[in-house]
Amino acid sequence: MKKQKDIITRGAEMPAVALEQTILAAERAKQRIPGGKVVKKTEDYWHMLGPGLTTGASDDDPSGIVTYSQTGARYGFNFLWLAVFTFPLMATVQEMCARIGLVTGRGLAGNIRLHFNKKILYLCTTLLFAANAINIGANLGAMAKAMQLFNPHLNFTMLVVGFTILSLLLQIFTPYVRYAKYLKWLALVLLSYVFSTLLAHLDWSSVLHHAIVPTITFNKDTAILVCAILGTTISPYLFFWQTSQEVEEQILQGKTTVRERGMATSKADVRSMRIDVWSGMFLSNLVMFFIIAACAALLHANGITNITSAAQAAEALRPFAGDASYFLFAVGIIGTGLLAIPVLAGSSSYALAESFRWKEGLYRNLAQARAFYGVIIISMLVGLSINFIGIDPINALIYAAVANGLVAPIVLALIVLLGSNRLLMGRWVNKKSTTAIGWLVTAIMAAAGIVAIISLV
């Protein structure tokens, strides 16, 4: 009580954002008791969720929805097992990223700059920026098309511009402590895909069988599809965002310098981070699972095998799943777009700012980090322009997939090396099993990138 009164007393002398951050830090501190043990309350689990939840949820953006919808529509349940297979791989990589941010107090690009050749970093961040800008454009277009599902008379141009402005205003002028809460709640919109599928009354015995028993066919089309799924699920922008968000969370707790953030990391901190990350990745792959299942049971079974947009997937489902599923699917497209776009733009900005040692962080305002927010603005404007320069959306996503295919194996290798560096990570260095999984994912993504590039030649 005395601590809360002290905070309130100082409130008149503190800026609003600083006061909000201090109160949040105090609330989090109350959740812990001496000895690093976590108080067991029903709300504890929700409080533990944060960067991991929003990172995992952002992975199911409208471009990802297209990939998963096409997978189910074209191949039925055959590739449903990929949702199960990729879950531990994705979660292990994201946990490594989160642990690096938590232990070092720096973002991923900042750590790469200190420990590896800067030319590698510049190449990766350049390709990351290009791929993210293309994805932002595709997502803005998908959100506009989804809005037209509710009212076909709405103007596409006005919708795309409107979503761009809305996203920029939220990213630039909303204090991070409040914005992080918005993203966290927005992640729950993904449950609309779960509900829309449950309303479709699927044959769950067949669904579960294909989820457990892999169906593998070898040809060019399926190879490209698997590469697309891997590229959509294990994406470089998630690595940079996850690491930087762990740093942002530490700053909210009052650790404003790298030295303070780099001090001993407690078991409670790592435990909370792991719960957060694995929960977020589980939600991401659960949604992937349900989208593939719904499109397989309703579209593939009825001869609809070609889906080229998220809005088309929603329209195609309507005759078979009903209006409720249709509207839930459409709402999901808009919600995931609002969640994913700031993650895409923000990950580019974190990577470039840390590479060139600019002031960075969403906890700063525009005047304090002009270059950081400048990258976000440019990313959004490039994405917006893609909708009006005649580039086919599907081709744009292919180009983005190629860029990600080039970046992902390189960045993954650096992540594994950083996580395995005992001098850097101390007691939280990778376990042998974690390192092995990390190198396995790196090899898989390298193979997927090669296949994707060869398919375009």
Q: Is the dihedral of CA 274, 360, 190, 235 positive or negative?
A: negative
DSSP codes, 18-59: HHHHHHHHHHHHHTEETTTEEP--TTHHHHH-SHHHHHHHHT
Amino acid, single-letter form, for residue 21: Q
d(CA 457, CA 452): 9
Least Cα distance to 298 among 260, 272, 325, 332 occurs for: 325
DSSP codes, 69-125: HHHHHHHTTTTTHHHHHHHHHHHHHHHHHHHHHHHHSS-HHHHHHHHS-HHHHHHHH
**Residue 269 is assigned to a structural domain of this protein:** yes
d(CA 193, CA 289): 10
Q: What is the pLDDT of residue 111?
A: 93
**Residue 49 is assigned to a structural domain of this protein:** no
Q: What is the pLDDT of residue 23?
A: 38
Q: What is the pLDDT of residue 397?
A: 67
Question: What's 215's DSSP letter?
Answer: -
d(CA 429, CA 142): 41
Q: Is the dihedral of CA 321, 66, 50, 163 positive or negative?
A: negative
| CATH number of the domain encompassing residue 125 | 1.20.1740.10
**Residue 10 is assigned to a structural domain of this protein:** no
Q: What is the pLDDT of residue 114?
A: 92
Q: What is the pLDDT of residue 43?
A: 58
Tokens 């090669």 belong to 450
DSSP codes, 239-289: HHHHHHHHHHHHHHTT--SHHHHTSPPPHHHHHHHHHHHHHHHHHHHHHHH
Q: What is the pLDDT of residue 12?
A: 38
Its domain, for residue 210, covers: 54-456
Question: Taking the complete model, does pTM exceed 0.75, yes or no?
Answer: yes
CA angle 445, 446, 450 (to 5 degrees): 115
Name the phi and psi angles at 38, rounded to 5: -95, 135
**Residue 36 is assigned to a structural domain of this protein:** no
Tokens 């927005």 belong to 186
Give the H or E element holding residue 173: helix 156-173
In sequence order, the 6+-apart residues with CB closer than 8 A to the CB of 434 are: 92, 95, 96, 419
Strands (E), 348-421: none
Q: What is the pLDDT along the chain (457 residues), one digit of tens a residue?
A: 444 444 333 333 334 344 344 434 444 444 443 444 444 454 587 778 888 888 888 888 888 888 888 888 888 888 999 999 999 999 999 999 999 999 998 999 999 999 998 888 998 899 899 889 988 998 898 889 889 988 889 999 999 999 999 999 988 988 777 777 777 777 777 787 777 777 767 788 888 888 888 887 777 777 777 877 888 888 899 999 999 998 888 887 777 667 767 677 788 888 999 999 999 999 999 989 988 998 888 888 888 888 777 777 778 777 766 777 778 778 888 888 888 899 999 999 999 999 999 998 888 889 999 999 999 999 999 999 988 987 766 667 667 766 777 788 999 999 999 999 999 988 899 999 999 999 999 999 888 878 777 766 6
Cβ proximity of 40 and 187 under 8 Å = no
**Residue 5 is assigned to a structural domain of this protein:** no
**Residue 388 is assigned to a structural domain of this protein:** yes
Q: What is the pLDDT of residue 42?
A: 46
Q: What is the pLDDT of residue 19?
A: 37
Q: What is the pLDDT of residue 354?
A: 94
Domain count, the chain: 1
In sequence order, the 6+-apart residues with CB closer than 8 A to the CB of 270 are: 99, 102, 428
**Residue 86 is assigned to a structural domain of this protein:** yes
Contacts 24+ apart (CB under 8 A), 191-194: 192/328, 192/329, 192/331, 192/332, 192/335, 193/60, 193/287, 193/290, 193/291, 193/294, 193/328, 193/329, 193/332, 194/286, 194/287, 194/290
d(CA 277, CA 246): 11
Name the phi and psi angles at 304, rounded to 5: -95, 105
**Residue 35 is assigned to a structural domain of this protein:** no
Strand, helix or coil at 299? coil
